[in-house]
Amino acid sequence: MDEMGAPIPLERLQRNLEKVRARIAEAAARVCRPVDNIRLVAVTKTVGVAEILSLLKLGVRDFGESRIQDAERKIRALGLKAGEMHWHLIGHLQTNKADKAARLFGTVHSVDSLRAAQALNKERLKAALPPLLCLFEVNVAGEAQKFGLRPGSSEIGELLKQCAAMPGLRATGLMAMAPYAEHPEATSRPVFRGLRELLSGINAQHLTAEPLTELSMGMTQDYQIAIEEGATLVRVGTGLFEE
Ligand SMILES: *Cc1c(COP(=O)(O)O)cnc(C)c1O
């Protein structure tokens, strides 16, 4: 599991991946959702290039990293292989790193301010790449230590309206994190349900050019709950790498 230690054997990754995929399918079936509507983002922030290449071999195409400098180092080491992958920035974006973020990633899950959106738009246009897919991070549970937009305010609507006029960005959905919990059923489900309701509310107001369709929610502790509540992107790290 340590990036410095021996690489995780392919067999373990395969076993874990099969388990996670089976659980995704079970959760989807419980609520009669088509499983191809749900994408697994492998969060590789705790592992190295060897594990990323193994996951690629096992058919994973979506990879998530929290920190720009780690992503940059890994993507550089992957060389041409990185072009076969879709990279997701899932951690907080500092506006002064927008130039790198706009070049390294295909999707940013953590847009939470007008300043960040403007910086990403500018850099994406400068890089002459297709529009960057953007999800807006919402602090649904109102936790003091978390980043994200406040769900009950006009903040999100305003930001979406402004982003609709930025040709370098394409707003696709919302992202949230539930509080860490030993037993996430009681704590995660209301957060995920809240995010889904927020998305419906935004779509009913027609603030975006196209309706928002993506809900990035759920990690190892609670991705099955997230899928039951409508997640289209689940961000799983530990569950893929643990013994
Ligand atoms: C680390 C991280 C994850 C994955 O967490 P696991 O518990 O390892 O599955 C998901 N989302 C974000 C934003 C993260 O930082």
pLDDT digits 0-9 by tens, 97-134: 999 999 999 999 999 999 999 999 999 999 999 999 99
Query: Residue 53: what pLDDT?
Result: 97
Question: 222 C-alpha vs ligand 1 centroid, how far in Å?
Answer: 11
Confirm or reject: Cβ of 43 under 6 Å from ligand 1. Answer: yes
Query: Residue 207: what pLDDT?
Result: 87
Dihedral sign for Cα atoms in the order 234, 210, 115, 196: negative
Mutate to test the pocket of ligand 1, among 43, 135, 238, 240 (most ligand atoms within 8 A of CB): 43
Confirm or reject: Cβ of 220 under 6 Å from ligand 1. Answer: yes
Q: What are phi and psi of 109, to 5 degrees?
A: -90, -5
- Which residues in 118-139 are b (16+ Cβ under 10 Å) and which e? bbbbebbbeeeeeebbbbbbbb
Average pLDDT over the chain, rounded to whole? 95
pLDDT band at residue 233 under the 50/70/90 scheme? very high
Tell me if 112 sits within 8 A of 149, measured CB to CB.
yes
Query: Residue 137: what pLDDT?
Result: 97
SS (H, E, C) the chain: CCCCCCCCCHHHHHHHHHHHHHHHHHHHHHCCCCHHHCEEEEECCCCCHHHHHHHHHCCCCEEEECCHHHHHHHHHHHHHHHHHCEEEECCCCCHHHHHHHHHHCCEEEEECCHHHHHHHHHHHHHCCCCCEEEEEEECCCCCCCCCCECCCCCHHHHHHHHHCCCCCEEEEEEECCCCCCCCCHHHHHHHHHHHHHHHHHHHHHCCCCCCCCEEECCCCCCHHHHHHCCCCEEEECHHHHCC
Q: Is the pLDDT of residue 87 over 80?
A: yes
Q: Is the pLDDT of residue 187 over 60?
A: yes
Q: Is the pLDDT of residue 192 over 70?
A: yes
Question: 204 C-alpha vs ligand 1 centroid, how far in Å?
Answer: 30
The residue-averaged pLDDT of 38-54 equals 98
Query: Residue 154: what pLDDT?
Result: 86
Ligand 1, atom 13, lies closest to the CA of 90
Confirm or reject: Cβ of 239 under 6 Å from ligand 1. Answer: yes
Tell me if 82 sits within 8 A of 103, measured CB to CB.
no
Query: Residue 144: what pLDDT?
Result: 85
Question: 235 C-alpha vs ligand 1 centroid, how far in Å?
Answer: 6
Proportion of the chain above pLDDT 70, given as a percent: 98
Which residue would you say has higher pLDDT here, 71 or 154? 71
Query: Residue 2: what pLDDT?
Result: 52
The residue-averaged pLDDT of 18-43 equals 98
The residue-averaged pLDDT of 65-75 equals 98
Query: Residue 1: what pLDDT?
Result: 47
Mutate to test the pocket of ligand 1, among 235, 236, 240, 242 (most ligand atoms within 8 A of CB): 235
Residue with tokens 């592992």: 47
Ligand 1, atom 11, lies closest to the CA of 235
Query: Residue 36: what pLDDT?
Result: 96
Query: Residue 209: what pLDDT?
Result: 85
Q: Is the pLDDT of residue 164 over 70?
A: yes
Cα distances (Å, whole numbers) of residue 39 to 20, 42, 217, 228:
12, 10, 11, 14
